[in-house]
């Protein structure tokens, strides 16, 4: 009788684990997917700048150059400024990297519109996207309550309100438009 009960609960636990994978496993997969997406979105000649980003599974992304993770393995910082990267930056970064705090992309040849979904990165403290070739209307940065540094200087954008970022507390802001 005891063995039947043990077997039943073992099977129940197995079904639960299969149907509800752990958050850590889901997040790790999502974070890995982000690095696959960014490599795909860059021009082929950008590959040498990120040559140590082995997205095919050999090296953990926390060991990629310019990437820092916290003790739980969440990506908290990406700094790929000045690496001569060209292409587009993937949208929905925050769905892949929910703990991201610092994003530095400046002085690259990234093109396209500003990524509106960046305002979903609720922990973001620094966003440096200066000297890129981004255009379009700037998003409303007010949801980013932790943002302290915002540098969007030297881009081809249209600010819906040039002072909109100034309403955030303790924020250093630099916005210059390239004409």
Judge contact between 129 and 107, C-beta under 8 A: no
Judge contact between 117 and 91, C-beta under 8 A: yes
Express each pLDDT in 127-168 by its tens digit: 999 988 888 888 888 899 999 999 988 877 555 444 444 444
In CATH terms, the fold of domain 23-174 is 3.80.10
Domain boundaries, the chain: 23-174
**Integer Cα distance of 74 and 24 in angstroms:** 9
Judge contact between 175 and 156, C-beta under 8 A: no
Q: Which residue has the higher pLDDT, 161 or 39?
A: 39
pLDDT > 90 in the chain, percent: 35
User: What is the mean predicted confidence (pLDDT) over 111-131?
Assistant: 90
**Is the pLDDT reported for residue 57 higher than 50?**
yes
Alpha helices by DSSP H, the chain = 2-19, 23-41, 93-96
User: What is the mean predicted confidence (pLDDT) over 97-118?
Assistant: 91
C-alpha distance from residue 65 to each of 52, 77, 169, 173 (Å): 7, 11, 31, 27
User: What is the mean predicted confidence (pLDDT) over 35-63?
Assistant: 83
Express each pLDDT in 66-90 by its tens digit: 999 999 999 999 999 999 999 988 8
pTM, two decimals, is 0.76
């Amino acid at each position: 009788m005891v063995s039947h009960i043990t077997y039943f609960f073992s099977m129940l636990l197995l079904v639960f684990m299969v149907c509800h994978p752990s958050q850590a496993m889901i997040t790790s997969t999502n974070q890995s997917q982000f690095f696959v997406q960014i490599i795909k979105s860059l021009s082929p000649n950008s590959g040498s700048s990120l040559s140590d980003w082995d997205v095919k599974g050999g090296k953990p992304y926390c060991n990629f150059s310019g990437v820092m993770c916290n003790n739980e393995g969440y990506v908290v910082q990406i700094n790929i400024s000045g690496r001569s990267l060209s292409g587009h930056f993937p949208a929905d970064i925050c769905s892949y990297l929910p703990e991201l705090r610092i994003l530095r992309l400046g002085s690259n040849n990234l093109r396209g519109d500003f990524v509106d979904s960046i305002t979903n990165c609720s922990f973001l403290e620094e966003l440096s996207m200066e000297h890129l070739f981004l255009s379009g209307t700037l998003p409303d940065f007010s949801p980013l309550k932790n943002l302290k540094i915002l540098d969007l200087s030297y881009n081809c954008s249209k600010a819906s309100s040039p002072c909109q970022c100034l309403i955030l507390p303790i924020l250093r802001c630099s916005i210059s438009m390239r004409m």
